[in-house]
């Protein structure tokens, strides 16, 4: 429930409760005022009746005159009736208004005749009270009677009905109820208007303003008036919006400047990479071209024997093959082959790569350990040629960084319903391959650049810096991930994450070493 609604309901309920209590007290006050008016009037009238009965009944015992007096007084005005009792509480006489109810249908005699006078007779003190029957209020008084010498002789009950007074009370009650309802409606409407204007609308404006900020609209402000807490809050929010807008503009300008600097920096890096590539290519191609030129000039100087001619031509062909291989690597990097996916056996793939590089491994006296930890390596869906090229590049990179008698360790583990660490790849089944060597390692400042095109730490002419870049692209083309960990002078570890499928599995095996 919104704050404005809660506040409105709270105030309206408070008004209803207050006005209801006020109306209830007002009605009771009107009833008390009516009873007080009856009591005041009946006090004087009762003393007059008491004096008359003392004369005609207490002193003279004239029952005829007493009855005539009671009949004369009984139905007059608002007098309900009079009942006379002796000292024993027996009824001596009562007015005709109580004796003949058919002649006075508006008066009910039973409530008056049922009043017990004995409590007043016992202590010779007057008593009073009132009876409420239907919509008629009946007030009564019990007065003791004594003779001229002060001896008690009985008591009388005088009752007065007040239909007109009760009608007035009911009219006032209805008027109070109507006035209370009207005031409640007016106050509720007033409260609703005040809360809506001073609470609901400012809060809604504040909410709309916050939504505008979330959409990037910084220009609008909240209109404020007065010095209420909500106005002060709106003023503070407007100042905060101005500061945010200023900060946002500064941030945008800084980002633009950073983007410009980054573009310039990248352009400089590209130019440096192109220069480095050009230097590497010039050295890589210059050396075999010099050899080819020298051998050709050597053959042209004088006649050579067939054996010498053959030897020189084989050297020339070898250098041409070297240039061709370098150009093929450049073409492979610039025009990446579209992968053809099929199920391949990873264990067989690595074995084939080892066989292709056996002569280099043997020349460096490097040992390769493939550890499957007694599990089956699942088949993966990939392009066999591209995968082979990626692993060849990893082997060659390790061989260039290792000393004789080094070790290359390859291991794999299946990750179920996971995603590569530090990657945004979706959760699923992955094959995690660890390719580790105990070579010289990679400096920390070069770890973030190891997969950049043309980046290499080798001397000019010893490499073009494309091998790891090609491997990175091949693994990405297979929707995989590759990461590098290294400690300078101790090891370099490549972590390759390949998405799996359920098609077949490789042969079981333990650990093999070569």
HEC profile for 26-66?
Answer: HHHHHHHHHHHHHHHHHHHHHHHHHHHHHHHHHHCCCHHHH
The helix or strand, by DSSP H or E, that contains position 303, with its residue range, turns out to be none
Mean pLDDT, residues 82-105 taken together: 83
Beta bridge partners of 41: none
Give CA–CA dist 103/105, Å, rounded.
Answer: 6
Find the length of the chain: 514
Say whether 15 sits in a helix, a strand or coil. helix
The whole model's pTM is what?
0.40
Give CA–CA dist 376/345, Å, rounded.
Answer: 11
Tell me, what's the pLDDT at 464? 55
Give CA–CA dist 281/462, Å, rounded.
Answer: 10
- Which of 82 and 75 is assigned the larger pLDDT? 82
Tell me, what's the pLDDT at 460? 47
Give CA–CA dist 176/151, Å, rounded.
Answer: 51
Give the mean pLDDT of the chain: 78
Binned at pLDDT 50, 70 and 90, residue 155 comes out as very high
Tell me, what's the pLDDT at 508? 34
Give CA–CA dist 154/418, Å, rounded.
Answer: 109
Tell me, what's the pLDDT at 99? 79
Beta bridge partners of 138: 131, 161
- Given a contact cutoff of 8 angstroms between Cβ atoms, the answer to whether 420 and 481 are in contact is yes
pLDDT tens track for 257-316: 888 887 877 777 666 656 666 665 666 677 678 888 887 887 888 778 888 888 888 888
Give CA–CA dist 126/82, Å, rounded.
Answer: 15
The helix or strand, by DSSP H or E, that contains position 221, with its residue range, turns out to be none
Binned at pLDDT 50, 70 and 90, residue 493 comes out as very high
Percentage of the chain modeled with pLDDT above 90 = 4
Radius of gyration of the chain (CA): 58
Give CA–CA dist 387/340, Å, rounded.
Answer: 11
Give CA–CA dist 424/466, Å, rounded.
Answer: 26
Give CA–CA dist 499/477, Å, rounded.
Answer: 12
Cα torsion at 466, 471, 473, 476 (round to 10°)?
Answer: -160
Tell me, what's the pLDDT at 506? 36
Indicate if the pLDDT at residue 430 is higher than 80. Answer: yes
All structural domains of the chain, each given as residue ranges with its CATH number in brackets, are 3-173 (3.30.450.20), 218-335 (1.10.287.130), 340-513 (3.30.565.10)
Token digits of residue 411 = 């291991």
pLDDT tens track for 345-380: 888 888 888 888 888 888 888 888 888 666 677 777
Tell me, what's the pLDDT at 503? 38
Report phi then psi at 492, rounded to 5: -135, 130
Q: Indicate the range of 121-130, 144-153, 333-342, 481-490 predicted with least confidence.
A: 333-342
Adjacency order of strands within the sheet including 79-86: 91-94, 79-86, 152-161, 136-146, 127-133
The helix or strand, by DSSP H or E, that contains position 409, with its residue range, turns out to be strand 407-418
Give CA–CA dist 256/240, Å, rounded.
Answer: 24
Tell me, what's the pLDDT at 505? 36
Q: Indicate the range of 184-188, 200-204, 424-428, 439-443 predicted with least confidence.
A: 424-428
Tell me, what's the pLDDT at 135? 54
The helix or strand, by DSSP H or E, that contains position 102, with its residue range, turns out to be none
């Amino acid at each position: 429930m919104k704050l404005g609604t809660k506040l409105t309901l709270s105030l309206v309920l408070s008004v209803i409760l207050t006005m209801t209590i006020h109306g209830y007290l007002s009605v009771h006050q009107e009833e008390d005022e009516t009873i007080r008016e009856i009591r005041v009037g009946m006090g004087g009238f009762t003393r007059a009746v008491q004096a008359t009965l003392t004369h005609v009944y207490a002193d003279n015992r004239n029952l005829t005159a007493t009855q005539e007096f009671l009949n004369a007084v009984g139905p007059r005005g608002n007098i309900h009736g009079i009942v006379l009792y002796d000292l024993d509480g027996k009824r001596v006489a009562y007015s005709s208004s109580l004796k003949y109810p058919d002649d006075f249908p508006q008066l009910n005699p039973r409530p008056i005749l049922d009043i017990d006078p004995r409590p007043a007779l016992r202590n010779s003190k007057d008593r009073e009270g009132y009876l409420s029957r239907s919509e008629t209020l009946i007030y009564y008084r019990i007065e003791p009677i004594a003779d001229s010498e002060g001896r008690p002789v009985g008591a009388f009950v005088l009752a007065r009905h007040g239909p007109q007074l009760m009608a007035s009370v009911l009219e006032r009650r209805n008027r109070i109820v109507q006035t209370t309802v009207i005031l409640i409606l007016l106050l509720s409407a007033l409260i609703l208007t005040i809360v809506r204007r001073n609470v609901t609308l400012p809060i809604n404006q504040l909410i709309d303003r916050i939504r505008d900020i979330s959409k990037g609209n910084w220009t609008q402000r909240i209109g404020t008036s007065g010095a209420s807490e909500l106005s002060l809050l709106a003023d503070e929010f407007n100042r905060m919006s101005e500061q945010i807008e200023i900060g946002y503009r500064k941030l945008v300008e800084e980002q633009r400047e950073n983007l410009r600097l980054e573009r310039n920096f990248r352009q400089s890096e590209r130019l440096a990479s192109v220069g480095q590539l050009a230097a590497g290519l010039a050295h890589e191609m210059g050396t075999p071209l010099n050899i080819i030129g020298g051998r050709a000039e050597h053959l042209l100087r004088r006649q050579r024997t067939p054996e010498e001619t053959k030897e020189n031509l084989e050297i020339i062909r070898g250098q041409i093959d070297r240039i061709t291989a370098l150009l093929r690597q450049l073409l492979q990097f610039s025009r990446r082959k579209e992968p053809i996916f099929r199920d391949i056996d990873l264990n067989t793939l690595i074995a084939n790569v080892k066989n292709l590089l056996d002569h280099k491994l043997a020349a460096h006296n490097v040992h390769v350990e493939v550890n499957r930890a007694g599990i089956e390596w699942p088949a993966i869906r990939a392009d066999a040629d591209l995968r082979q090229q990626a692993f060849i590049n990893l082997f060659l990179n390790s061989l260039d960084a290792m000393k004789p008698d080094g070790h290359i360790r390859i291991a794999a583990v299946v990750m179920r319903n996971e995603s590569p660490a530090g990657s945004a790849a979706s959760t699923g089944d992955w094959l995690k391959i660890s390719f580790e060597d105990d070579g010289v390692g990679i400096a920390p400042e070069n770890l973030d650049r190891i997969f950049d095109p043309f980046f290499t730490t080798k001397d000019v002419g010893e490499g073009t810096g494309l091998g790891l870049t090609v491997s990175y692209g091949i693994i990405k083309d297979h929707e995989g991930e590759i990461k590098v960990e290294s400690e300078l002078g101790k090891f370099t570890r490549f972590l390759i994450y390949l998405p799996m499928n359920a098609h077949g599995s490789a042969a079981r095996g333990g650990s093999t070493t070569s």
